[in-house]
Amino acid sequence: MRPEELQKDIAKKNIAPLYYFHGENTHKTDELLQKITAVLFPAGDPEFDSSSLDAQVHAPSEVLQSARTVPFGNPKRLTVVKQADAYKEAQWKSFEGYFSKPSVSSCLIFVGEKCALKGALLKLFQKQGKTVAFDNPRWESQIKACIREELSRHKKTATDAALSYMADSMGGDAQMISREVEKIVLFCREQKRLDVDDVAEIVSGAHTATIFNLVDGIGGGRIDDSLKYLNSLVDEGVYSLVILKMISRQFRLIGRAREGMNQGEAPGRIGQRIGLKNERLVKNILNQAKGWPSDKLGRVFDVLYQTHMQLKTSRVKDAFVLENLLFQLVALRR
């Protein structure tokens, strides 16, 4: 089951007796846990009829005791078990009887990074309950959808350019997206629709800083630096095609700036050309553009296109494809 489907069930107040939430998108997990809590306890008083347990601390017997406890002042009792994937196979078998016939006056929710239920026990669980995968957004369209959702929560929208900038800067970490959107909202309180300049200076963008340093390393022919920043992005879980898109975007900005420089345009005019008003950001792009003559930039985009096709069709590991891209670009720059 996807989170979107669960949201529809929650809106209809259709709450299952059993759930297993798994995945790295803890932001979305927490959000839907809160929504289930709000449905189960409309008066806002879950104190006596809810328990938050931890599989690393609480044995299955304690979980079962909580789930089987008759609710005190509400129609249902809620039991949430965090780090559920810490239970071993033998411990999961302790739940077999309960999974066969869960209490009608209880909602038992397991939460973990991965779904630890397997085989017959998983099938038994799914007859009475639902497993929900909370994955971080990976593709650009998913990242933008996540940003839109966070913005709409604050009654704001963004232009396509601003969405693209935020998607490139934030990457596919839902927690980071939530934090950065909150920061943007704080600084743009009066604005309902955000443009790229509204967000460019606000987004701390660990990914933005890293990608700038990565491209700067390429431009300076420093392969060691470039590999370091690439590995940083990979370690942070940024998807390979998103990394490539971030590199491509930076070189598109450099290319437009190079065109302006060739025509003798002033920095302010070049800023308009590349869609940025912030002087510091424009200056950074201009400094990088100085090292890339137009003929070399044309070759850069050929290499980027070839890399895009490799990532989508090749069986070679993505990390190797991206490393090869860096070596090609550094060699080209020299």
Domains of the chain from N-terminus onward = 3-133 (3.40.50.300), 140-200 (1.10.8.60), 206-333 (1.20.272.10)
How far apart are alpha carbons 51 and 35 in whole angstroms? Answer: 16
Annotate 73-126 with DSSP letters as a single string: SSS-EEEEEESGGGS-HHHHGGGHHHHHS--TTEEEEEEESS----HHHHHHHH
How far apart are alpha carbons 33 and 81 in whole angstroms? Answer: 12
**Helix, strand and coil percent figures for the chain, each rounded to 5:** 65, 10, 30
94, 87, 21, 19: which is closest to 54 by C-alpha? 87
**Under-50 pLDDT residues of the chain:** none
Strands 18-22, 50-54: pairing is unpaired
What pLDDT does 16 receive?
Answer: 95
| Paired tokens of 42 | 């409309």
- 269, 304 Cβ separation under 8 angstroms: no
What pLDDT does 250 receive?
Answer: 81
What pLDDT does 288 receive?
Answer: 84
| Paired tokens of 282 | 């424009």
CA-atom Rg of the chain in angstroms: 25
